[in-house]
Each structure stands twice: as structure tokens, then as C-alpha cells.
Chains A and B, each alone.
Chain A
């Protein structure tokens, strides 16, 4: 791949709709600054915690601090914040998002205003901090640590998920009940802090929009089974932004409807991501390397397209509850179902829900090879990748590449090493595909 392309951190997008995401992001930070200027409450938030529609219904403007760290990484502006957090004593093995966020807040406090050159005008000073134990430990420890930079009140929301060998019929009712009570406690806390009562009709409306959005998004992913692939993973890592950071809003629903129309047209006219699609790959897990997204285009230069991925959402119709009128119960049930996706299948088959999902994706999307990304500072999304891959190999022969860097921190990343690993992996993918083709030819 050309050196000029390598200098770019971002990937080249295939879909028109994906190119609109940058505006969504800009608007997100603009709205947060505007809310702050107008005295409306601004909350630092953790993505995928399930409280999106609750915040919308209470007119609280979220700032998704993980998104901001990713944005800084994509713009290669994160290092100054990482270094600042480390100067305050945070280890360089702590989550790259956390260090970026803490470093940013440290600099804002130190400088008495927004750090110079902060991407998208920086994050406004929060009035509220809403941590979450969903997915990983740093997501509630981060805002606790922020006590050194801000006096903003803090609520941490607990999200519990049973183990895959749990007896679901037994545990599901009290797991969901705990989530419902957690959300009610959050609402009570927000009402106290903002002096504003929850508007449950408004909440119900946002939940309806959220449900519809999830389903349109699911339909987009169904279209992606087509050969040639109409939308690659690097586009997914853009188009997930509205669905994760502006979930429950009408413009978000419209965004996915537009995306659906575009992908449908591409499928109908057999318009692929690249002209000659030879290999279909799957992003098997791990957060994307935001600092090096051009890597996806490097695969494309060898005829390989990432047809599907296992990161960020992937709603299914079975996640959406029916017949629950209470919007809080609805949200809690929906989230629980998403978090326990494929658990029952795993009990019957491989014993591992991630493996179940990956096997299904590999079948449905005609996958020739799988790539995962281990992040040095992200335990939650990295531990288990080797195990998942080993378990998958018991079921199917699927070439595997495990890349390692960090979600944000570039200091341990070697571009040359990645290129060698990718090239060698692609040789394996090609050899396997040739063998399969030969075998098919002999059978005919």
C-alpha cells in the first residue's frame, strides 16, 4: 500500500451515509457546548449503559467520554493527554480511554479552560458524572478518579450479566429486576440533581424510536450477507456512532433508514466495496485501532473485505421485548437480552456465547478468515480472544490473525510488524481458499 495512504489514520469509506457521521460527531459536541452555555445539564456518560433514552427524556445532554478519547486517537491528538494522566500517577497500562479522559480533564483544570487544540472544541465541564459497570471495571473507576479534577456529582450504574452456565429461567427475573431498580434509582438521582421530573410519555416515545432504530440497523446487517460485500467493517466503525451515541433520537432512526436504502441499492446492483472481492474477512473482536484505521484499506488492496464484525451492538429482533408497557422495564429487559445474546445456544453447543456468535457470522457472511485486535490497555475486550479462537478452530478451519496495539496509545505499536503479520495472514487465507476451490472442483 502506498506510503501516502499509510500516513492517513482514517480509512476510506465505501458508503455515502458513513461519510455523514463526522457531522453527527461534530453536532454532538456542539450541542454539548451549547447546553453548557445555556445552563442545561451536561453529563459525562459511558456508552452502552442503557440510559440513553432516560437522558433524552430528561433533557440531559450526554458527553460520551470514550467517544472523545477515540476521536483524539483518530486525530492523533491523544498522546498529550496520556502523558498528562501518567504525570498524575496513572499507570501506562490503564485503559487508553481513561488516561486520555483524565489527562484532558487534568489539563482543563490546570489551564482554567479548554486545552488548546482540543478536537471538536473539547468536552465541556460536566455537571453530572454517570459511570457504569457495564462491560468493564474502568468504566466506574474512571469517574471516581475524576474527583481530583471536578466536584460534579457522581452516580455509578451497576450492570450485571450471568455466567454462561447459569440456569436462565431461574436467574433472569432477578437479574432484570436489579437492572430495573438500578434505572429507577438513576432516575430518582437525576431528578434530585436537576430538579426536573421524568416525563414517562416522552421516555416511551424515545424507547419506541430506539427499538425501531435497532431493527433498521439489524436489517442493514442482514443485507451485508450479500456477495460482493456492500459495506465493510471500517464503515460499520463509523456508522455505529449515531446508534450508540445518539440512540433514541429521530435523526438517528432516519440515518439508519437512509443507510438501509443505500445498502439495499448497492446489493441490488451488486456494487461491492472493491471491484474484485476475493476474500471475505470478519473482525472477530476487540475494539478497532482508532489510530490506524487505514489498515482496513490495506487488506482491500489484497482483495480482502471485512464483511462483518463482532464489535458495537448488533441488535437482533429477539432483543426487543413485546408487551412491556413500563419503559424502564422495557429498557432493562432489552439490555439484558443484548448482553446475554447467544447464551442459550452456547449452553447447547460450544459453551461460549462469543464463539456461537462468531460461528454464526462466519457461516452467514461466507467468511474466509478472522482478525481480532488485542488492546494492551483493554482487559475487557481482549481477554478471551485466544480462547475464542482456539474454540472456533475446534468447529471450523478458519485462518486467524491476532493483531496487538492499543485503542489509543501508539507508543507500543509497530506498523512494520503489522504489515508483515497481515501479509503473512493473507497468504494463509489465499492458500485455504485455493484448497477449498480445488476440493469443490474435484467434487464437481
Chain B
């Protein structure tokens, strides 16, 4: 993290909400949202500032214990803990998608406790049948109507098309940045990539675009990027929105070269197709995000099913020359937890070793994790 621009990234990362708060003081409305399922294009086309809600692994969960059960996703508990402590008081609105059981259930609890000026729940179907797309499009129409009422503005097709193009440009820039990790050593580290994702999901898309362009330029030019390590890793899992875990992994002797994470490739790997009815393209793109919460119909053999569900992981492994995989699963994330044995089988079938970590979204486990990760990486390096 020595180059000037990436130092600026560091500053933005450490003060993630500052820009959103500035924009709010200038009169813009900031809407917090969970996960990668809400259609951001619709929000920004109505001049809202979307702000992706995260927890904080550095902050012990204390206040949320009075309101939430401990057997639920600690990422969501941590996020709500921050809200109770006032860290999200700058949010004017809240948008919660039906990603999973826990995210669905936090919606009424959050709105009851924080009473945001605007709140909306988007039901995301779990299936990918033709009727699921129709339904999701209807949900988007209702989302548009509610946002129009809230903002007092009308969503124009032209403006939405512009926003789709802008968000697609940002996705393309992120893919370009990710491509720089194909080199050996990669030109940008996994920890830096986590910071980039965390920062740009807190910025308006135009500012995110400018920042991404500068980062790409400076990453290409700098000479003090990550050092070559014997292990090139793919990290799979739910939510990593803090650099502590990737830093721990990379300090232990690996380069994280690609991920399959919610705050990672799942947010940018696919573009929104520009369709005659723009909501159709949005519905398709957001419904097909490769999170295990979305069911992909089984057909053919077991091998075909595994390829249908995890083929993208296989492509990442090949394209980024990966030689080890870490599954970083936040405890109680049922959809990921139930997929774990199948993901392990798929990766093993490709001849790669896997380390499965079930963690509690805190720094308390770092020492123990470091030992496990080092042992795993040494095994690969020696192999």
C-alpha cells in the first residue's frame, strides 16, 4: 500500500461513510442497502446515493444482543449493532432484499428500531423459472413506484439507461482491475481489492468510476505491488468487507488472485443487458447473481449439476491460475453452509486443496485462523 493513489484508497477505506455524509449535508438522500441484490441503477437514476451496509469486525457486538438472537448471521448482527449504536444514523432510507432468511428477518426489526424516512423490502425469488423473472420485474416496478413517491421524481427511461451504462462501466473497470491479478505476482492484492470494493460501494457511481480509473492506472504503473507467493488462492464465501482476513491470508504466504464473494466478483462479474424494457434486463441480471441463495435447477448427471452450480469457480481457477481455495463461511449462513461439501467436492475434483473456515465475523479468531492458514499454505507450497 505504498503508492500515492492507493494511499488515498486507504484514507477512503478508513473513512468509508464520510463522502455519503458530505453528500447528505449537501441535500442528497442516502439509502443503505444489504447485499448485492438491490438494483442500484434504479436508486441512482432517482438521484439517491446507495450505501452498502456492512458490519465491523473490529467492533464487538454488544448492543444488538438485546434485540437479536445469537444463532443468526454475525455479519447481520454486527451491521444492526452499528445501527443501534448510531453509526448508520446518516442513512435516510433502507432497502433490504430477500437474500436469505436472516436478511429477510432483519428488515422489520431494523425499521422498527431505526424508523428510517424510507424503507423498502424487495422480494427476490429463489428460483430461476421464467415466472420468477416476471415476478421479480413486478417487484422492481413496485420498488420504482415507492422510490418515486419518496423522492417526488419520475424515473425516466433515458436516465435509467444512462445509469445502467454507468454501472456497467464500473463493473467493466472492476473486471479490468481483477484481470491485473492474472499476472504473477498479481498487480493488486486481495486485501487491496477488498478495500476497493468496500470503498466504491459507499460512493456515487460516477465518483466510483473516476476512482477506479485512477486506481487501475496507478496499479499498472507502480513497482511496489504484491510480492510473488508460492500459492495463488481463490477465496469463496459470503461477506468479506474488511481487509483483516485477506491481509492475514496474504501475510501467511499467498496471493489472493480471485474471489467468489458477495462483496466481490458476485457484485460485478456480470453486466446488466440493455433490453427494450429496461427492468427486464435488471431483473435478469440481479436474479442470476451466483449466490447459493439462488437455486439452479438440476438437469443431467451429478457432474452436470455441479458444473451448472460451480462452473464459474472452475473458470476462475483456470483463468487465474489458482492452486488453492479457501472457503470463508460466516457461521449460520445456511445457504453457504449447505453448499460447502459440494464446493469442496467440486474443487477437489479439479485436483486442488481446500481449506474450509467457519468464522464468526470478528477479529477474535485471527490467531487460530493464522495457524490453520499457514499450515494449509505450507502444504500447498511443499506439494
A residues whose Cβ falls under 8 Å from a Cβ of B: 88-91, 93-95, 98, 131, 133, 136-138, 140-142, 144-145, 147-148, 151, 153-158, 160-167, 170-171, 174-175, 177-178, 181-182, 185, 351-352, 374-380, 382-387, 390-391
Supposing A95-B334, A182-B131, A383-B72 touch, asked if A165 and B119 sit within 8 A by C-beta, the answer is yes
Q: Is B345 an interface residue (CB 8 A)?
A: yes
User: Is A98 in contact with B112, judged by CB distance below 8 angstroms?
Assistant: no
User: Is A145 in contact with B342, judged by CB distance below 8 angstroms?
Assistant: yes
The 10 closest A-B pairs by CB, nearest first: A89-B341, A163-B121, A141-B338, A181-B131, A133-B126, A178-B135, A158-B127, A383-B105, A174-B138, A379-B101
User: Is A89 in contact with B112, judged by CB distance below 8 angstroms?
Assistant: no
B141-178 CB contact bits vs A (8 Å, 1 = yes)?
A: 01001000000000000000000000000000000000
Q: Of all chain B residues, which has the CB nearest A155? A: B297
Q: Of all chain B residues, which has the CB nearest A376? A: B71
Q: Of all chain A residues, which has the CB nearest B129? A: A185
Q: Is B339 an interface residue (CB 8 A)?
A: yes
Which residues of chain B come closer than 8 Å to A131, judged between CB atoms?
A: 295
Which residues of chain A come closer than 8 Å to B335, judged between CB atoms?
A: 137, 141
Interface contacts beyond A91-B358, A154-B297, A160-B123: sample of 5 additional A-B pairs, CB < 8 Å, sorted by A? A89-B341, A141-B292, A174-B138, A385-B69, A387-B67
Supposing A382-B69, A383-B105 touch, asked if A351 and B331 sit within 8 A by C-beta, the answer is no
Supposing A145-B341, A352-B112 touch, asked if A386 and B298 sit within 8 A by C-beta, the answer is no
User: Is B108 in contact with A351, judged by CB distance below 8 angstroms?
Assistant: yes
User: Is B108 in contact with A138, judged by CB distance below 8 angstroms?
Assistant: no
Which residues of chain B come closer than 8 Å to A174, judged between CB atoms?
A: 135, 138
Q: Is B352 an interface residue (CB 8 A)?
A: no
Which residues of chain B come closer than 8 Å to A383, judged between CB atoms?
A: 68-69, 71-72, 101-102, 105-106
12 contacts between A and B (CB under 8 A): A90-B337, A93-B332, A131-B295, A140-B295, A141-B295, A142-B338, A148-B342, A170-B145, A182-B129, A352-B108, A379-B72, A387-B67
Which residues of chain A come closer than 8 Å to B293, judged between CB atoms?
A: 137
Nearest chain A CB to B280 CB, angstrom units: 15
Supposing A185-B129, A386-B69 touch, asked if A138 and B338 sit within 8 A by C-beta, the answer is yes
Q: Of all chain B residues, which has the CB nearest A174? A: B138
Q: Is B109 an interface residue (CB 8 A)?
A: yes
User: Is A379 in contact with B102, judged by CB distance below 8 angstroms?
Assistant: yes
Nearest chain A CB to B84 CB, angstrom units: 12
Q: Is B302 an interface residue (CB 8 A)?
A: yes
Which residues of chain B come closer than 8 Å to A91, judged between CB atoms?
A: 329, 331, 337, 340, 358
User: Is B107 in contact with A163, judged by CB distance below 8 angstroms?
Assistant: yes
Nearest chain B CB to A34 CB, angstrom units: 28
Which residues of chain B come closer than 8 Å to A94, judged between CB atoms?
A: 334, 337-338
Q: Is B344 an interface residue (CB 8 A)?
A: yes
User: Is A162 in contact with B123, judged by CB distance below 8 angstroms?
Assistant: yes
Q: Of all chain B residues, which has the CB nearest A90? A: B341
Q: Considering the chains assembled together, what is the distance between the CA atoms of A385 and B101 in angstroms?
A: 14
Q: Which of B108, B305, B332 contacts A147 (CB 8 A)?
A: B305
User: Is A379 in contact with B71, judged by CB distance below 8 angstroms?
Assistant: yes
Q: Is B206 an interface residue (CB 8 A)?
A: no
Which residues of chain B come closer than 8 Å to A145, judged between CB atoms?
A: 338-339, 341-342
Which residues of chain A come closer than 8 Å to B21, judged between CB atoms?
A: none
Q: Considering the chains assembled together, what is the distance between the CA atoms of A32 and B6 in angstroms?
A: 64
Nearest chain B CB to A381 CB, angstrom units: 10
B318-358 CB contact bits vs A (8 Å, 1 = yes)?
A: 00000000000101101101111110110000000000101
User: Is A147 in contact with B298, judged by CB distance below 8 angstroms?
Assistant: yes
Give the dominant DSSP class at A's interface: mixed
- For chain B, which range describes its interface: under 10, 10 to 19, 20 to 34, or 35 or more residues? 35 or more
User: Is A138 in contact with B67, judged by CB distance below 8 angstroms?
Assistant: no
Which residues of chain B come closer than 8 Å to A160, judged between CB atoms?
A: 98, 123, 125, 135
Supposing A385-B69, A386-B68, A387-B112 touch, asked if A156 and B334 sit within 8 A by C-beta, the answer is no
Q: Considering the chains assembled together, what is the distance between the CA atoms of A170 and B101 in angstroms?
A: 24
Q: Is B111 an interface residue (CB 8 A)?
A: yes
User: Is A136 in contact with B295, judged by CB distance below 8 angstroms?
Assistant: no
User: Is B121 in contact with A391, judged by CB distance below 8 angstroms?
Assistant: no
Q: Which of A137, A147, A153 contacts B101 (CB 8 A)?
A: A137
Q: Which of B68, B73, B112, B125 contacts A351 (CB 8 A)?
A: B112
Nearest chain A CB to B342 CB, angstrom units: 7
Q: Of all chain A residues, which has the CB nearest B345? A: A148
Which residues of chain B come closer than 8 Å to A177, judged between CB atoms?
A: 135
Q: Is B61 an interface residue (CB 8 A)?
A: no
Nearest chain A CB to B380 CB, angstrom units: 20
User: Is B298 in contact with A384, judged by CB distance below 8 angstroms?
Assistant: no
Q: Is B1 an interface residue (CB 8 A)?
A: no
Q: Considering the chains assembled together, what is the distance between the CA atoms of A185 and B339 in angstroms?
A: 26
Q: Considering the chains assembled together, what is the distance between the CA atoms of A175 and B121 in angstroms?
A: 14
Q: Of all chain B residues, which has the CB nearest A379? A: B101
User: Is B131 in contact with A178, judged by CB distance below 8 angstroms?
Assistant: yes
User: Is B135 in contact with A88, judged by CB distance below 8 angstroms?
Assistant: no
Nearest chain B CB to A163 CB, angstrom units: 4
User: Is A163 in contact with B341, judged by CB distance below 8 angstroms?
Assistant: no
Q: Considering the chains assembled together, what is the distance between the CA atoms of A390 and B121 in angstroms?
A: 22
Which residues of chain B come closer than 8 Å to A144, judged between CB atoms?
A: 295, 298, 338
Q: Is B132 an interface residue (CB 8 A)?
A: yes
User: Is A136 in contact with B341, judged by CB distance below 8 angstroms?
Assistant: no
Q: Is B363 an interface residue (CB 8 A)?
A: no
Q: Of all chain A residues, which has the CB nearest B340? A: A89
Which residues of chain B come closer than 8 Å to A140, judged between CB atoms?
A: 126, 295
Q: Of all chain A residues, which has the CB nearest B344? A: A89
Which residues of chain B come closer than 8 Å to A137, judged between CB atoms?
A: 100-101, 126, 293, 334-335
User: Is B121 in contact with A156, judged by CB distance below 8 angstroms?
Assistant: no
Q: Considering the chains assembled together, what is the distance between the CA atoms of A164 and B72 in angstroms?
A: 21
Which residues of chain B come closer than 8 Å to A157, judged between CB atoms?
A: 127
Q: Considering the chains assembled together, what is the distance between the CA atoms of A144 and B342 in angstroms?
A: 10
Q: Considering the chains assembled together, what is the distance between the CA atoms of A378 and B111 in angstroms?
A: 23
User: Is A386 in contact with B67, judged by CB distance below 8 angstroms?
Assistant: yes
